[in-house]
Amino acid sequence: MLGCTTGHRFDLARQGYVSLLSGRGTAHRSDTADMVTARTRVFADGLYSPLQDAVARACIDPAPGIVVDAAGGTGAYLAAALGGSERIGVSLDLSKACARAAARVHPRAISVVADLWSAIPIADGVAARVLSVFAPRNPAETARVLAPGGAWVIVTPNPGHLAEIVEPMGMLRVGEGKSDRLEADLRADFVVEQTSVVTARRELSASRLADVAGMGPAGFHRTRDELAAAARALAGDGSVAATLDVTLTVARRR
């Protein structure tokens, strides 16, 4: 059990994570167990490894401090960021299914269920890096937990991301105005230090295609059977090509 100075007590789940949600829970939607299983298979096949490598490179830094993966999902990016360093990492996610996966992702990773919109449950100024990968962002809380000189590593999809499969698989398009929203999030407390585009072409079998669609928002509104049928129609017994196309932004806290 964990406790705080104001007397709250939080149980450690058998699966190795701690939930900091209050009894009232949350109104927000978070990833389901099926989405986590799909995501785990996609990552195990290395389909997103160029992106995980890019995040890891953005976290190489001798400065002290922990790494916080905000809305970290299965914690795969956190594990890449911790790599061989001595750092400790914390994966935060609203989803218990994600927290279960993140609890096993790296020996120096701690997994926490928390709602990013309330607060990031981390002390002021202790993080060398905060990661926001395909994730909701809370700029004020991110600035608060970053150490002076620490950096926010953000991954956002470009319009070409998975463009070949978005429509046939019933996935969401990248919304217009995403880069404006990022700029607005960074304006008050951050200076952009680096932006890079990461692209990679992937061959997806029908089952991996269903996973790539099902691990994202399509997993909320299409059943696994619907996704599998759409994937078979597209890839048959072979495969279909899809392009990863994202922007990685490193923004330093002022």
DSSP H or E segment with residue 66: strand 66-70
The answer to whether the annotation marks 8 as part of a ligand binding site is yes
Closest approach, Cβ 223 to ligand SAM, in A, equals: 19
Q: Are 65 and 131 in contact (CB under 8 A)?
A: no
Closest approach, Cβ 186 to ligand SAM, in A, equals: 18
The answer to whether the annotation marks 106 as part of a ligand binding site is no
Token output for 35: 């989405």
The answer to whether the annotation marks 4 as part of a ligand binding site is yes
Closest approach, Cβ 28 to ligand SAM, in A, equals: 4
Residue 17 and residue 182: Cα distance in Å, rounded? 30
DSSP string computed for 153-207: EEEEE-TTTTHHHHTTTTPPPPPTTHHHHHHHHHHTTEEEEEEEEEEEEEEEEHH
Residues forming the site for ligand SAM (CB under 6 A): 28, 30-31, 39, 71-74, 76-77, 92-95, 98, 115-117, 133-136, 216
The answer to whether the annotation marks 48 as part of a ligand binding site is yes
Cβ nearer to ligand SAM, comparing 135 with 198: 135
Cβ nearer to ligand SAM, comparing 76 with 186: 76
Q: Are 47 and 204 in contact (CB under 8 A)?
A: yes
Please compute, for residue 225, the number of CA atoms within 13 A of its CA located in the half-sphere on the CB side. Answer: 0
Cβ nearer to ligand SAM, comparing 149 with 242: 242
Closest approach, Cβ 115 to ligand SAM, in A, equals: 5
Residue 102 and residue 77: Cα distance in Å, rounded? 10
Cβ nearer to ligand SAM, comparing 105 with 234: 105
Residue 169 and residue 221: Cα distance in Å, rounded? 12
The residue number whose beta carbon is nearest to ligand SAM equals 73
Closest approach, Cβ 139 to ligand SAM, in A, equals: 14
Identify any residues that bridge with 191 across adjacent strands, giving them in sequence order.
252
Cβ nearer to ligand SAM, comparing 118 with 229: 118
Provide the annotated binding site for Zn(2+). Answer: 4, 8
Provide the annotated binding site for S-adenosyl-L-methionine. Answer: 48, 74-75, 161
Provide the annotated binding site. Answer: 4, 8, 48, 74-75, 161
